[in-house]
Amino acid sequence: MKKNIVREGYNKAAEDYSASRDEFANLADLEKLNSLLKPHSTILDIGCGAGIPVDKFFVDHGHQVIGIDISEKQIELAKKNVSGGEFKVKDMSELKTGEYQVDAAVSFYAIFHISRQEHQVLFKKINSFLPHGGLILVTMGAGEYEGEEENFHGVKMWWSHYGAEKNTEIIKTAGFEILLDEIDEGDNERHQIILARKLK
């Protein structure tokens, strides 16, 4: 199964991947979200990885963080890296409607590791976790692609995503108002970054 490629890949490459993450690459986006959050908000990080820099940023800014990831190794690292966070091994495609009640949800470089046919359902579930006006900050694939890469930090990895226009449509259809929609071309990669607010 494709999710086994993702789980096993990140279990093997967790430390190398974490070490290569640019701590400042998404800092401006994190600060934008933080400026909209109420003090002591609770944030769900979907595909949290090793917890840095995203979860550490929010904990350091006085928020509560719940992080989920399909990789056992990534969760092990997150628990070491971010004191005060709550981290759990969980497959995002198995989330249930209303399973969490949080003020915001974030997901960096993770949603495109589940089948793109599941993305609409996932965003509707995320909507169910949030109050009216709740916020999301996510990265998505900038162009349409589905397939495997043989050498992603030394392991096999799998991606599945639509292009930017379809991603925006999916998020709007799930009941969100787009606040920011940009293409980031840092680190020789192209990702779509979306900040949005729950309308309904």
Enumerate the β-bridge partners of residue 147.
159
pTM > 0.75: yes or no: yes
Contact in structure between 124 and 105 (CB atoms under 8 Å): no
Q: What is the pLDDT of residue 11?
A: 57
Give the residue, 45 or 149, on which the prediction is more confident. Answer: 45
Domain that holds residue 53: 2-198
What CATH number did the domain enclosing 58 receive? 3.40.50.150
How confident is residue 191, by pLDDT bands cut at 50, 70 and 90?
confident
CA of 22: how far to CAs of 19, 27, 53, 81, in Å? 8, 10, 8, 15
Q: What is the pLDDT of residue 144?
A: 87
Contact in structure between 17 and 53 (CB atoms under 8 Å): no
Q: For the chain, first and last CA: distance in Å?
A: 35
Does position 133 have pLDDT exceeding 80, yes or no? yes
Cα atoms in the Cβ-side hemisphere of radius 13 Å centred on 87: 26
Contact in structure between 193 and 139 (CB atoms under 8 Å): yes
If one counts the domains in the chain, the total is 1
Does position 20 have pLDDT exceeding 80, yes or no? no
